[in-house]
Copies of this chain bind each other. A is one copy, B any other.
Amino acid sequence: MLDNYRLNDKSRISLADFDPEDTAGIASKDEIEAEFEALKEKLTEHQEKLFAGKTNGLLILFQGMDCSGKDGVIKKVLAGLNPQGFRAESFKKPTADEAAHDFLWRAHKVAPALGEIAAFNRSYYEEVLITRVHERIDGKEAGRRLKHIGHFEKMLSDGGITLIKIFLHISPEFQLRKIKERMEKPEKLWKFDPSDLEERKYWKAYAKAYEQAFKATATKRNPWYIVPANNRWFRDYLVLRIVESALGSMDLAYPEVDMSQFRAAADIDETAGL
């Protein structure tokens, strides 16, 4: 099933080929509820081994338009992880210091170590998306940056970090519906900047910039996933499956320990008579 949403070659990169309403034939949330909980349990077990073994790391990167649910999916799918060994990092407008460095600098600083899982809410991909859409960089510069991204990601994965790059795919109609919902709820409204509505005008330009990014950076080793996100339960379910599958295929194990050392130390201790 995951294959249907994975981009790892250049043959299928048009967002028009993916339906934001898609639920893989699953009729409703009820059908997957039990499986969802079981998968979360498995995730926790994988994480414990990942943390103990420190042979692998995982970087899950979320991109998508406003209201596509980047915050929500991190909360629903990943909030149960042990916070020691898991971090969420948000990439907002760069600070002066960040802007004074190369475009990968601030992301590299917070990359996961072996043993860790990091979720990026937005990422260095913004530097070929919003910047390109608003013509702060030209096509040539975007091309250069995409090459740097490809090299950077390969370097991370050579160092034992698995990358999962997720695009949360919504329709513009869905976004407008969500914006209106937010306007009715004070506990949602604070998240929102009215100027974000301006960005809707650039919907098609964003789609094009994303497609160029997929084309340049979707590889067998570091694929993109296009996650249909108009149905939030399916979005959460699919992301959980993707993450669980990535960890499951790492062949994680607790490290071997020399027991004799421990027994000797414990024997000594008991005679210390505390």
Question: Does A94 sit at the interface, judged by CB under 8 A?
Answer: no
Q: Which residues of B contact A172 (CB under 8 A)?
A: 274
- The answer to whether B269 touches A200, judged by C-beta atoms less than 8 angstroms apart, is yes
Most chain B CB within a 10 A radius of its CB, from A189, A197, A203: A197
Most chain B CB within a 10 A radius of its CB, from A82, A83, A119, A270: A83
- The answer to whether A197 touches B71, judged by C-beta atoms less than 8 angstroms apart, is no
* Assembled-state Cα–Cα distance A78/B82 (Å): 9
A50–chain B nearest beta-carbon distance, Å: 12
On chain A, the number of residues with a Cβ less than 8 Å from chain B's Cβ atoms is 54
Across the interface, A75 reaches (CB within 8 A) one of B84, B191, B255, namely B84
* Assembled-state Cα–Cα distance A78/B118 (Å): 17
* Assembled-state Cα–Cα distance A198/B79 (Å): 36
Q: Which residues of B contact A203 (CB under 8 A)?
A: 274
- The answer to whether A84 touches B80, judged by C-beta atoms less than 8 angstroms apart, is no
Across the interface, A257 reaches (CB within 8 A) one of B80, B176, B190, namely B190
Known: A190-B52, A254-B187, A263-B183. A197 touches B83 (CB 8 A): no
A263–chain B nearest beta-carbon distance, Å: 7
* Assembled-state Cα–Cα distance A183/B82 (Å): 22
A246–chain B nearest beta-carbon distance, Å: 18
Most chain B CB within a 10 A radius of its CB, from A86, A186, A261, A270: A186
- The answer to whether B84 touches A261, judged by C-beta atoms less than 8 angstroms apart, is no
A interface residues, Cβ below 8 angstroms from B:
48-49, 52-53, 71, 74-75, 78-84, 86-88, 90, 119, 121, 172-173, 176, 179-180, 183, 186-187, 189-192, 194-195, 197-198, 200-201, 203, 254-255, 257, 259, 261-266, 268-270, 272, 274
What are 25 pairs between A and B in contact, CB < 8 Å? Answer: A49-B187, A52-B187, A71-B84, A75-B83, A79-B82, A80-B80, A81-B83, A83-B86, A84-B88, A84-B90, A176-B270, A180-B266, A183-B263, A183-B266, A189-B254, A190-B254, A194-B261, A194-B262, A194-B265, A197-B266, A197-B269, A200-B269, A200-B272, A201-B272, A201-B274
